[in-house]
Structure 1
Amino acid sequence: MRHLTRRSFLNTALSAAGLAGAAVLARPALAQGDYPTRPITIIVPQPPGGSVDGVARLFADKLKDELHTSVVVENRPGASGMIGAAYVARAKPDGYTLYINASIHSINPLLYKKTITFDAVKDFTAVSMLAQGALIFSVNPKVPAHTVQQFIELLKADPDKYSFATSGFGSAGHLAAAQFLHEAGIAKVPIVLYKGAGPALSDLVGGQVSAIMDPMLSSLPQVQSGKLRALAVTGSARSPLLPDVPTMREAGMKDFEFYSWYGLWTPAGLPEPVLKRLEAAAAHIMDTPAMQQRLNALGFESAYKNSADFTAYITSEMARYKQIIDSAHITAG
């Protein structure tokens, strides 16, 4: 699998011309003064404006009302989210430093085995899964393909002419694109690495790259405005936001289903009463119709899992990601 930085890709191209009631009842009986007693910070290891930031800010807005304290979102992007994650891993496990990230948190340790400075499982407490969302598979409108199968034919006929953008190395969109190319039997099409969805989508709209698999929060406006053409969505069912766009399975990609999921963590060693307080707060927030409606409007769905279930889910997802990485020969560096 070929991977290029944006700069090296553009240089090459130029040289070649061209995120209820029962949960409330389940809340632990903590005195109001126990936790929290001061503001909470949610670390987001991605840039502002992307899908992780969007889910985190929706959640933070509700968490401040749930816990009756100030909740601040702090972006610490860089190194595929590992700068922010490393900061959280070193923080005091007192419930005042929280961490929201996407599935990339569980992908990075599979890619950066030699350079990662923390254990993505052991150095964190998995509090709850919050949401998930299918990706949109879209292309620049000048690409002469209106279906997934037509695009596959183009890639096979002239692989050097086309490319995929990804918002970050190891992101859900990166692995989805790699899985697609592997299952389609296409090895030569490059995946161009960007630092966030914004620059990736900008170059896709501008025609410097050909295609992307990206969360709806960032890609949907471009599709709705006609700046991008959606070929498929990667969920198990069509999105109500794009009812005319088929799923990857409907488009002929057997068993292809991929989601970007979003979770809440803290540093490892979180006291049990604080864990239960946060776990119950997340359950209540994600169960409210208002939160579900806001998520749905952005292409996400509430997907709450408690700490134990989220931990088990992470284990199963990491096994699936490892299979994709090994099959597509994805390596860091």
Structure 2
Amino acid sequence: MSAGGSLKSIFYALAANAGIAIAKFIAAFMTGSGTMFAEGIHSASDCGNQLLLLWGMKKAKQPPSPDYPLGYGKEIYFWSFLVAIIIFSIGGMYSLYEGIHKLQHPPESFQDAWVAVIVLIFGIILEGGSLLGCLKQIKHLRGETPLLQWCRETRKSELIVILGEDLAAELGMMIALVFILLAQFTGNPMYDAIGSLLIIIAIFIAIKVKGLLVGQSVNPKIRAELVAALNSKESVKEILNVITLQLGEDVMIAVKARMDDANAVEVCKDINQIEAEIKTAFPQVKWIFFEPDIKK
């Protein structure tokens, strides 16, 4: 899937979160709900996060330059990591603070709880639509690969961020809905406070994107296919080493191989042909550094 699939997922999430944030803040003002206000902060920060991802994807498309000979593809990883920090701090830590504050100082009453319930149901429907849209785009990428395995192995940081945001928002609103209903039926507003405690998904996103920032290889399945394609070439007698590096949408490959030809001119022709065939079979491969060698 091209970057267009990621763009669709980001725009779905941006539209959903903008509507949800407005509705949540209105409900928080009407009800005095700490959970609802924390959820509004979360949805508003999600809108900012999606704008940052869009900016990161735009920056990542810049062509290579003398200072950045391999291009700017990893820009998207930086902005994805920044989004993870925002989710952790604004979405997670603020919710944690709000929850602890309400547990220590529970409000005397919880007004107009049904307004909050209606807004949360509305938000669950909108966020559910965004989540389904994201999962649909991911399905094109993962094929038959289980979703959890895809999440561990994928190099699409922007989709991981959107998936994490959508899951966190959907789960958070469902928990908030349950606790608001409990607060309404039991008369104990402390239930409203407990619904603010969510933070784990931001940590997962940060850990995942950190690996891509440091310099992660391509997906193991794609690497295996690349090695198999190289081994299938008649002029390649033996693959001595293959190094891959994921650079946003682009991939760099460094190959050391024992070649069949003894003539230097023929070796160069073989290498040029191999590089052209690899780039045709794997469009994401932008750079190939092929070093012929002899087995020692």
Could you tell me the TM-score, scaled by structure 2's length?
A: 0.25
Structure whose CA Rg is larger: 2
Q: Of the two structures, which has the highest relative contact order with CA contacts closer than 8 Å and spacing of 6 or more?
A: 1
Structure with greater helix percent: 2
